[in-house]
Chains A and B, each alone.
Chain A
Amino acid sequence: MASIIINVSKYFILILMLLYTLTCFTIYQKGNEKKREWKLNRQIVYVFLIHFLSYMTLALSYEDRMTEIVVFYGVQILVATIYMYLYHFIYPYSSRLITNNMCFLLLIGYTMLARLDFSMAKKQFIIATAAMVLVAVIPYIMERFRNLRNYGIIYGVVGIIALSSVFVIGVEQYGSVNWISLFGITLQPSEFVKVLFAFFVASMLSKSRSFKQVVVTTGFAGVHMMILVLEKDLGAALIFFVIFICMIYVGTGKIQYVAVFLAGGTAMAGLAFLLFKERLFNHVLVRVNVWKNPWADISGDGYQITQSLFAIGSGGYFGTGLTKGSPKLIPVCESDFIFSAISEEFGVLFALALILVCFSSFICFVNIALKVRSRFYKTLAFGFAVCYSFQAFLSIGGVTKFIPSTGVTIPLVSYGGSSVLSSLIMFSIMQGISTIENKEAKKIEEERRNLEEEAQRLREA
C-alpha cells in the first residue's frame, strides 16, 4: 500500500511543481491586483501540498523515525507559512513572489536533505530559520539608513580583509582553503564578501563614473579576485569577475569597459595559468579533463560526475520517487550535487521546473533593478541578480556536465550554512530595495495626483 501511495504522490508532486512554476511566470500577465494576490496565495497552497506529499513519502519510507519526521515537517511548514504571510504584513511593499520562491527553495532543500541525512537537514533548518529572523530587519535598516552608498572604499577594504582572513585562521575543506573557523563555527568568507563586493562596486560607481574611479574600483576588484585565486577558489573568483563586469556595465553604461575587462581578464587568467600552472591550476586541468571525458576514469577523477549523470539518467523524467533512488552514491550530494539527487528522485521534469523557479527569482530581481531609479540601488540589485543566477547556472551546469564543474552550490537549496545565510541576506536586501522603490514610486504618484487634483480645481475655478 505504502509503495502505491509513494508512486502516486510522485506524479502529484510533479503536477503541483509544474503549476507552481507556471504561476511564477503567469503572474506578469495583465490583470488586477486581486487576481495577482490570488495567484500568489495559490502558490503557497502548491508549496504546502508538495511539502506535505514529500514528507508523507518520507514518513512512510522511514517508519522507524516517523515521529521525528512528522515533528520536523510540522515545524518547517509552520515557519514557512508564518514567514510567507507575516513578511508581507510587515513589509507590504516587498515582492511576494520573491518571498514565495525563497521559502519554496528552502523547503525543497530541507526535504532532500532530510532524505539524504537527517542531521544535516536539522542543522540547515536551524541555521536558515535563525537567519530568516535576523535578516528580516534588513529592509527596515535599509529604509532608515539611506547613506549606504557612501561607504564604497570601506566595503572594499573590509571585503579584502575578510577574504584574506583564511590565510591566518583558515581551515581546509574539500581541498580548498577557503573556510575560516571562528568560535567553533566554520564560515566561508567568500560567500559574505560577495555581498559586500556588490555594495562596494555599486557605491563606487554611484559616486562617480570617471575613468579614475573605474580604475580604482578595478584595482580593488582585482585584489579580491587574486586572493580567491590564491585560495584556489576559482568558482568564486569567476563569480566575482562576472558580477564585476555586469555591474560596471550597468553602473557606467559603457560597453567599452566590458570589452576591455573581458579581454584583460582572459589575458590575466591565461598568464596566471602559464606562470603558476602546477601550483594553482592543477585541479582546474583535472576538472576540464574530467569534463571533456569523464568516462576515461570512471572510478577515479570522473567518479563524481559520472555518478551524477547516472543519477539523472536513471531517475528519468519522472524520477524514482523520493527515497527510491540511490543519490548517496554521488559524493557531496548534499551540497554541490544536490541537483542530481533531486533530479534522480523527483525526476528530470521536476528538476527542470526547479531551474525555472531559480530563473523566476532572477527575473524578480531584474524587475526590481529595472524599476528602482537610484543608480546605486539599480547597480546593486542587478549585481545580486547576476550573482544569484550565475551561481545557480554554474552549479547546475557543473553537475550535468554542461560546463566543467566549479564546486559551486545552488543558493538556498544546497546544504551549507554560509551559503544559505549569504543567500538570505541577498534576498532580504532585494526586498529592502523593492520596499524603498515601491514607497518612492507611491510617493511620486501621490504627488502627481495632488497636482492633477489641483489642476482640476483650477480649471473648474
Chain B
Amino acid sequence: MKKNEEILKKKRKGSGKPEHELDMSLLTPEQQEFLKREEKIDRINERMNRPVIGITYICAFLFVGLISYILHFMIVEKDQVISNAANTRLDRYAANVIRGDIMTSDGKKIATNRNGSRYYPYGKLFAHVAGYSDYSKAGIELVGNYYLLESHANPFERMVHTLREEKNMGDTVISTLNYELQEAAYDAMSGADGAVVAMEPDTGKILAMVSKPDFDPNDIDEVWKEANTNPDSSMLLNRASQGLYPPGSTFKLLTTLSFMRQKPFGFMTYSYDCEKKEEIFNGVSVHCYGRKTHGEEDLSLALANSCNQAYADIGTKLNVRKWRETMEEFLFNKSLPYTDASAVSRFLLDAKSDKGYIPQTAFGQGDTLISPLHNAMITATIANGGLMMKPYLIDSVENYKGSRIRKFSPSSYDTLMTSKEVEILTSYMRRVVTEGTAAPYFSGAEYEAAGKTGTAEYENGAHDYSWFVGFASLEQPEIVVSVIVEQSDVNGVKASAVARRIFDTYYSLEGH
C-alpha cells in the first residue's frame, strides 16, 4: 500500500516512469483504460511543458544578467558615477564626515580645516586648481569631493564615532600637483593675466595649473559676493581649462600636421618665398608678425620663423573638409576627456565657409579658439609619441592616517599620430627653440627643449596674447608646458620666458 502511494506520487510529479509498474492484470478493462488515459495525458503534459521550461530559462538568464549588471555597476562604475559633480547627494555625507585634506604630490597641504572652516594655507597660489568648497565647488574640491567626504579611518574608531554621534575624519586626496612647479609658474606669471598648464606627457598628470586673475579661497565669502555682483568679474573662471583663446601661431603645428597628411610627398619639398611685407591669399591680405620678411623657407624654417604668409599659402592648398576632420580627431568641437570643468575648443571652418577665412585659420587667427589645457594635451601627444593621455589631477587617496586607499592610474585617450609624424614635428619644434622665435628665451638651458611660440592679436590688433607650448627634454620628454599671457604687449611678460622658468625649476628638482 505504502509502496503504491509512492509510485503514484512519483507519477504525479512527472519524474519519469515509476520503478515498479502496477499489476495491470488484476484490473478491470475500464480501470486499465483509466490508467492508460492518465498516462497519455501526462505524456502530452510533458511535451507541452517543453516550451515553458525553455522560456523560463531565458527569463532566468535575463534576471541573472540584470543582477550581474547591478553588481558590475557597484563594483566597477559606482565610484566614478557618484563622484560626478552633479551628484548633490554627496553633500549629505558632509553631515557625518569632516572634509579631508588635499595635498600636493610633494607633501604640501594645500587645503585643510581650521576652526571648523575650510582653510587653504597657500591662499592664492592654488586658487583655481585646488578650488573651493563653499557656496559652490570647483577644482580638486569638486572632482575629489566624493573621496574627501568618505572616511576610511579604522572601522572601530568609526563605529565609536557613529555611536557617539561624532563626525569621522574624511580621506586625504593626494593631487598630482607639484608645489615647486606651481610656485614657479605662479611667480613667473606675476603681473600678468593668463594661464599655465604643466603636465607629464606619458601619464597625463597635471603638475601645475595657474590661472590669473586669481582670488584667495580663504576669503571665498567676499570673492563669491564680488563674482556674483560684478558681471565683468571672471576671477573664479579657471582660464587654464575653461578659458578659450585664439591659438595664434601655436596652431601652425596642427596646420603642419594636416599638410603632412594631405600632401604626404609634397610637404618635404615645400618652399615659400616670403619676400613682400604683405601678400594676398584668397582675397585677404596677410603679413607676418612685425611686418617682417623671411625670404626663402622650407616647411621647417617656415615653422621656426612662424611665417604667416607661408602658412596662409599652405592653407589654400588644404582640403578643408579633411582638415576639419583632422582637427576634430584632435578634440576640436568636442569635450575634453577631463574630469573637471573644461571649455570646448572650436574649429568652425568647413567646406561651406567663405574661402577668405582659410588663410587666417591656417596660422591660428580667425574663428578658431582653444583652451590652454587642450593645447597642452596636443603638445603632450607629440611628446608622448602620438598617444594622447587623459589629463588628471588626483593621484591617490589615503585615509587621514596616511594609509593608501586607492591609486589612480594613467589612462590613454587614443593614438592620434604616427611615429613618423611625431618625429618630423618634434624636429621642427626643436628648430623653433634652437634658431627660431623661441631661441632667445632658451639660450644656455641645461636641457633640450622643443616648442612653438605664438602671438595672437586681439581687440583689432590693440593687444597681444603671448603663447608658448613645448616640452623637455627632446630625448626623454618628461614635462609639457602650455602658457598663455594676456596683454603681453602691456605687462611685458612673455610666455616663452614663463615656460623657461618652469622647465628650469623642473630640472632643478631633486632626482634630476
- Could you list which residues of chain A lie within 8 angstroms of chain B, going by C-beta atoms? 3-4, 7, 246, 249-250, 253, 255, 295, 298-299, 306, 309-314, 316-317, 320, 324-326, 329, 348, 351-352, 355-356, 359, 362-363, 366, 369-370, 373, 375, 378, 382, 385-386, 389-390, 393, 396-397, 400-402, 441, 444-445, 447-449, 451-452, 454-456, 458-459
Tell whether, in the assembled complex, residue B52 and residue A352 are in contact, meaning their CB atoms are under 8 Å apart.
Answer: no
Tell whether, in the assembled complex, residue B51 and residue A250 are in contact, meaning their CB atoms are under 8 Å apart.
Answer: yes
Tell whether, in the assembled complex, residue A454 and residue B82 are in contact, meaning their CB atoms are under 8 Å apart.
Answer: no
Could you tell me the distance in whole angstroms from the C-beta of A218 to the nearest C-beta in chain B?
17
Return chain B residues, CB-CB under 8 Å to A449.
4-5, 8
Tell whether, in the assembled complex, residue A370 and residue B78 are in contact, meaning their CB atoms are under 8 Å apart.
Answer: no
Tell whether, in the assembled complex, residue B87 and residue A448 are in contact, meaning their CB atoms are under 8 Å apart.
Answer: no
Tell whether, in the assembled complex, residue B52 and residue A378 are in contact, meaning their CB atoms are under 8 Å apart.
Answer: yes
For A248, give the chain B residue with the smallest CB separation: B51
> Which of B27-35, B213-221, B271-279 faces chain A?
B27-35
> Which bucket holds chain B's interface residue count?
35 or more
Decide if B41 is an interface residue (CB 8 Å cutoff). Answer: yes
Could you tell me the distance in whole angstroms from the C-beta of A398 to the nearest C-beta in chain B?
11
Return chain A residues, CB-CB under 8 Å to B509.
none
Return chain B residues, CB-CB under 8 Å to A456.
1
Residue interface mask B61-93, A partner, CB < 8 A = 1: 011011101110110011001101011111010
For B11, give the chain A residue with the smallest CB separation: A448
Tell whether, in the assembled complex, residue B63 and residue A393 are in contact, meaning their CB atoms are under 8 Å apart.
Answer: yes
* A362→B60 CA distance, assembly (Å): 9
- Could you list which residues of chain B lie within 8 angstroms of chain A, going by C-beta atoms? 1, 4-5, 8, 12, 22-23, 26-27, 31, 34-35, 38, 41-42, 44-45, 47-56, 59-60, 62-63, 65-67, 69-71, 73-74, 77-78, 81-82, 84, 86-90, 92, 162-163, 165
Return chain A residues, CB-CB under 8 Å to B84.
295, 298, 306, 310
Tell whether, in the assembled complex, residue A313 and residue B73 are in contact, meaning their CB atoms are under 8 Å apart.
Answer: yes
In this complex, the member of B26, B52, B67, B88 whose beta carbon has the largest number of chain A beta carbons within 10 angstroms is B52
Return chain B residues, CB-CB under 8 Å to A324.
92
Tell whether, in the assembled complex, residue B35 and residue A326 are in contact, meaning their CB atoms are under 8 Å apart.
Answer: no
Could you tell me the distance in whole angstroms from the C-beta of A27 to the nearest C-beta in chain B?
16
Could you tell me the distance in whole angstroms from the C-beta of A432 to the nearest C-beta in chain B?
19
A-B interface, 6 closest residue pairs, ranked by CB to CB distance from nearest: A313-B82, A314-B89, A310-B87, A313-B78, A249-B51, A298-B86
Tell whether, in the assembled complex, residue B90 and residue A314 are in contact, meaning their CB atoms are under 8 Å apart.
Answer: yes
Tell whether, in the assembled complex, residue B66 and residue A393 are in contact, meaning their CB atoms are under 8 Å apart.
Answer: yes
Could you tell me the distance in whole angstroms from the C-beta of B23 to the nearest C-beta in chain A?
6
Return chain A residues, CB-CB under 8 Å to B52.
250, 366, 369-370, 378, 382
* A249→B38 CA distance, assembly (Å): 24
If A253-B48, A400-B66, A449-B4 are given as contacts, then 7 extra A-B residue pairs at C-beta distance below 8 Å, sorted by A number, are A249-B55, A309-B82, A311-B89, A402-B70, A441-B12, A451-B34, A455-B23
Tell whether, in the assembled complex, residue A445 and residue B82 are in contact, meaning their CB atoms are under 8 Å apart.
Answer: no
A359 contact from B12, B23, B50, B63, Cβ within 8 A: B63
* A249→B53 CA distance, assembly (Å): 11
Could you tell me the distance in whole angstroms from the C-beta of B483 to the nearest C-beta in chain A?
31
Could you tell me the distance in whole angstroms from the C-beta of A6 to the nearest C-beta in chain B?
11
Return chain A residues, CB-CB under 8 Å to B74.
312-313, 316-317, 348
* A311→B82 CA distance, assembly (Å): 8
The verdict on A452 contacting B48 (CB below 8 Å), with A310-B82, A393-B63 known, is no
Tell whether, in the assembled complex, residue A389 and residue B63 are in contact, meaning their CB atoms are under 8 Å apart.
Answer: yes
* A375→B162 CA distance, assembly (Å): 60
Could you tell me the distance in whole angstroms from the C-beta of A205 to the nearest C-beta in chain B?
11
Could you tell me the distance in whole angstroms from the C-beta of B409 to the nearest C-beta in chain A?
21
Tell whether, in the assembled complex, residue B35 and residue A402 are in contact, meaning their CB atoms are under 8 Å apart.
Answer: no
For A355, give the chain B residue with the smallest CB separation: B67
Return chain B residues, CB-CB under 8 Å to A448.
8, 35, 38
Tell whether, in the assembled complex, residue B89 and residue A396 are in contact, meaning their CB atoms are under 8 Å apart.
Answer: no
Tell whether, in the assembled complex, residue A402 and residue B89 are in contact, meaning their CB atoms are under 8 Å apart.
Answer: no
* A298→B84 CA distance, assembly (Å): 10
Return chain B residues, CB-CB under 8 Å to A375.
48
Return chain A residues, CB-CB under 8 Å to B81.
309-310, 313
For B72, give the chain A residue with the smallest CB separation: A402
Could you tell me the distance in whole angstroms from the C-beta of A258 to the nearest C-beta in chain B?
9
Return chain B residues, CB-CB under 8 Å to A393.
59, 62-63, 66
For B78, give the chain A residue with the smallest CB separation: A313
